[in-house]
Amino acid sequence: MKQLSLICSTFVVIVASAIAGHAVGSPEIAGADAGPAASSVYFFQGVPDQRLDLCVDGIEMASAATFDSMAHAVTLAPSSTRHRYSLRKAARGACDGALVDEGWFYAFGGDQVIVMAHQWRDGTARSEPLWLPAHPAVRHGETRFVVGNYAAAPRLLMAVDGKRIKHLELDSGGPSYLFRGYAARKHTFTFRMRDTRELVVRRTLWMPQGVEFLIVIYGGHDSGYRLRVFSRTVGVRYPS
């Protein structure tokens, strides 16, 4: 059974019946203040040179998605039902394409789920459901961010503002890591190959308080390594 690659740890999750939406979504994920009644599921296509379909509970939710695209696949009402998804080669019939990968997720009301398709080191396509809880809070004056390595590279080293995060090696397709306690301001992220110290990608981001960032590295040597930033408003927790 495929395990969930989640923020910081593996969770038991949740969600339910499909009210299909099929539109290209914004890179910015909807804020947590949109209400706890529904959970949005997004599909991010990070596999070069392929067109992929996403099926959730046997229903096609995204069709022929191209590399580096994102779709708001479906909105789900809260429930304790486990949802199965499949990643398939694009085909004329709904959910008829050759199976590429599959998995499952749950989600609480108001959560966000991103089904992340990415290229593995051997060139095959894989997927991970990334779960973002409904109501995290950021301390006043601080920002928080989650980082995940979904590139076709074995391990990456990470630095923030020129300071390497010691004892952290981002394994490809492994669990994401959550960072808290950084001041709300500009931060520069640098990712390098662990073995060769080759620069993979560098990006400077303005990170205000009350916003959570999901930073994803994907792609490969042939297609080029890329970094995608998702953000959403999550609110501020003031000191008591």
Whether 7 is covered by a domain: the verdict is no
Q: Is 86 inside a domain boundary?
A: yes
What pLDDT was estimated at residue 29?
A: 58
- Is the confidence at residue 69, as pLDDT, over 90? yes
Query: Is 13 inside a domain boundary?
Result: no
- How does residue 207 score in pLDDT terms, banded at 50, 70 and 90? very high
- Is pTM, for the whole model, over 0.85? no
Average pLDDT (214-239) is 89
Is it the case that residue 5 has pLDDT exceeding 80? no
- Percent of the chain predicted with pLDDT > 70: 84
Q: Domain range spanning residue 175? A: 18-235
Is there a domain that residue 131 lies in? yes
Residue 88 lies in a domain: yes
User: Residues 23, 62: contact at Cβ < 8 Å?
Assistant: no
Show Cβ contacts of residue 103 under 8 Å, excluding neighbours closer than 6 positions. 2, 4, 84, 85, 115, 127, 128, 129
The answer to whether 179 and 163 are in contact (CB under 8 A) is: no
Residue 11: inside a domain, yes or no? Answer: no
* 12 within domain boundaries: no
Beta strand extents in 94-139 (DSSP E only): 99-105, 112-119, 125-132, 138-139
Residue 3 lies in a domain: no
**Using 50, 70 and 90 to split pLDDT, how confident is the model at 85?**
very high
DSSP code for 222: T
Q: Which of 70, 100, 68 is nearest to 87 (CA)?
A: 100
Check residues 107 and 11 and name the one with the higher pLDDT: 107
What are the tens digits of pLDDT across the range 129-153? 988 887 788 899 999 999 999 988 7
State the total domains in the chain: 1
Question: Residue 31: what pLDDT?
Answer: 52
Rounded Cα–Cα distance for residues 10 and 35 (Å): 25
Residue 77, SS3 per DSSP: coil
Chain mean pLDDT for the chain: 83
Q: Of 64-73, 93-102, 116-125, 166-175, which range is least confident? A: 166-175
**What is residue 37's predicted lDDT score, i.e. its pLDDT?**
67
